[in-house]
Amino acid sequence: MITYKSILADQKIIDEYTKIDAQNIYPFSHGLQHAANVAEIVGKIADILGIVDNQKQYLQIACALHDIGQASGRENHELRAKLFSQEYLPNEIPKDSLNEILLAIEKHDQETDLDELSLFTNLVCFADKMDFSQKRLEKDYEKKFGYLIYSDIVDINFEYDEGCFKILITTNKISNAIELLEERSFFKKVIKSGIAVSKKLKASCKILVDQKEVDISSYL
């Protein structure tokens, strides 16, 4: 069976993501490393939610291919990624599962109407936003200093129990980490997509940074 690891080891895929890395003006990336990170993140989330076997693998496949359309630029990259994946993925994937993968790829960058998406697609959207490790988050680094940068993030974990989905972020002992994170547009996307996942689970959502809870009430 095809896996996200076999996809990311395929020279055809490597070549496409290499094109994406080569296009970047700033030291940030939507390339191969980002795709691998997102696939691993969604796998971690799937584990704590009890999602196993093929469904977990399909989530990781969607994450591995979600940005492949950026080889031809960012605009409309979601649709190009969907079309690429439609041609690339083998017939061995059941039609319903393939359609779920393709829809998640097409909608992975959606920021509005998240409640209308399935749990599968919301998980792909959320995992994409949870990749804090990439320098892609430093797009505005030349204009602004003094905010929390990716290298200050030590660890990211998730918990799901007693009707609560928790996002646990650990920093490098940054005293005002929450305030610095809240300045970043990507963190607002984390909050929105995290809440959307929680709603699908019929659970509450908590985001904790160094064990301090982030106030997400304005997003509910």
Give the separation between CA 70 and CA 31, rounded to whole angstroms: 9
The secondary structure element, H or E, covering residue 168 is strand 164-171
Q: What domains can be seen in the chain, in order of their start residue?
A: 4-135+148-219 (1.10.3210.10)
Q: How many residues can be counted in the chain?
A: 220
Residue with the bigger pLDDT between 89 and 26: it is: 89
Using DSSP's 3-state secondary structure scheme, residue 155 falls into strand
- Per-residue confidence (pLDDT) for residue 53, from 0 to 100: 86
CA 83 to the chain's CA centroid: 20
- Per-residue confidence (pLDDT) for residue 142, from 0 to 100: 47
Give the separation between CA 117 and CA 2, rounded to whole angstroms: 25
Q: What's the pTM?
A: 0.91
Task: Provide CB contacts within 8 A for 134, sequence distance 6+.
Answer: 28, 29, 30, 33, 34, 37, 150
Using DSSP's 3-state secondary structure scheme, residue 77 falls into helix
Take residue 109 and report the two structure tokens written for it. Answer: 């960058």
Give the separation between CA 78 and CA 59, rounded to whole angstroms: 16
Take residue 139 and report the two structure tokens written for it. Answer: 């797009």
User: For 118-170, what is each residue's pLDDT tens digit?
Assistant: 999 999 999 999 987 655 455 554 455 444 556 678 889 999 998 999 999 99
User: For 8-48, what is each residue's pLDDT tens digit?
Assistant: 999 999 999 999 888 765 545 688 988 999 999 999 999 99
pLDDT at 82 over 50: yes
